[in-house]
Amino acid sequence: MVRPDVVSLRGGFTGPHEVIQASDGRTLFLRRWDAAGDSPVSLLIFHGITAHSGAYGPALAEPLARAGVTVFGMDLRGHGLSDGVRGDYPSPERFASDISETVAFVKARSKKLVVLGHSLGSLSAVVAQRSRPQDIQGVVLVSAGRRIRAEQYSRPTAGAFLKTLLGVTLLRGTPLIGYRREGMLGLDDPLFNFRYSARFYSVLYGVPALRLLRMMRAGVLDSPNLRFEGRLRVPLLVAVGEHDELIPVDSARELFDGLDADDKQFLMIPGGRHAVFPSDAPDLVRAWLAQKF
């Protein structure tokens, strides 16, 4: 797969957006969907694996903006129009700093801020709340759970397995591990990424790569980055699609039941899939935001 020229593509992007100069000098990219009027609350979306912020525009961000919510979407380092080695993350500290600096940037432009993490982005949302709890007034986790349907992932060829083993044991920072599962989206989008380093997975999930590989095979993801520190004092929404092909509804429910929060709500999205939001999904999120904020 040809790596995109991120600097040129970012320079040619004409839609509403922000760029953040991270503390290490690299550029992080945020799309912005402005509300028609005064927005009492902003939503910051953290995308799932392979994706970028633009994937959430038509189905989620644009309808919410029309309904009066200003929406930001962060491209994680090495994804979309942000700088960084595609499919790698240099360290847990850099990950936490990127998330924290982005939250601070968005909160300075918002009255109230709610973070929404989709799939792998749920880990980013939890890290955001842990890093800057003073800036975040609500948390939404979509398509998140501790158990996955491992059978959805394509069985690796012998060559792919050897690459994975090499990446986990020796070349931890080299994007050798292909990401493939049934029903993937974005195959025709050059900003999507389908190859990752073992270090990326280890940083995002907060566990050693070999342990994570064993968990993936077993279909159980016990990630410390899916746990809040202490009792969550702001409203929490955990949502999952009725037909999510990767996260069973009961897995999302188990995650919800295990999270200690003052104010939490569980939502099953009728007709929803893992990365496909039905037309009424933005209304369900907007109704929760309106009720809480």
- Label each residue of 148-189 as H, E or C: CCHHHECCCCHHHHHHHHHHHHCCCCCCCEECCECCCCCCCC
Helix, coil or strand: residue 246: coil
- Please list the ranges in the chain whose pLDDT falls under 50: none
In a domain, 288, yes or no: yes
Following CA atoms 112, 137, 251, 145 in sequence, which dihedral angle do they give, to the nearest 10 degrees? 80
Residue pair 81/75 in contact by the 8 Å Cβ criterion:
yes
pLDDT value of residue 210 = 83
pLDDT value of residue 160 = 62
Residue pair 142/266 in contact by the 8 Å Cβ criterion:
no
pLDDT value of residue 169 = 66
In a domain, 202, yes or no: no
Q: What is the pLDDT of residues 125-145, one digit of tens each?
A: 999 999 999 999 999 999 999
In a domain, 212, yes or no: no
In a domain, 162, yes or no: no
Spacing of C-alpha 103 from chain mean position: 14
In a domain, 255, yes or no: yes
In a domain, 34, yes or no: yes
Alpha-carbon span 224 to 227, nearest angstrom: 6
Counted domains in the chain: 1
Alpha-carbon span 141 to 92, nearest angstrom: 21
Among 227, 228, 233, residue whose Cα is nearest residue 292: 233
pLDDT value of residue 155 = 65
In a domain, 225, yes or no: yes
pLDDT value of residue 213 = 80
Residue pair 264/238 in contact by the 8 Å Cβ criterion:
yes
Alpha-carbon span 24 to 21, nearest angstrom: 8
In a domain, 189, yes or no: no
Domain holding 20, by residue range, is: 16-150+219-292
CATH number of 223's domain: 3.40.50.1820
Report yes or no on whether pTM surpasses 0.75: yes
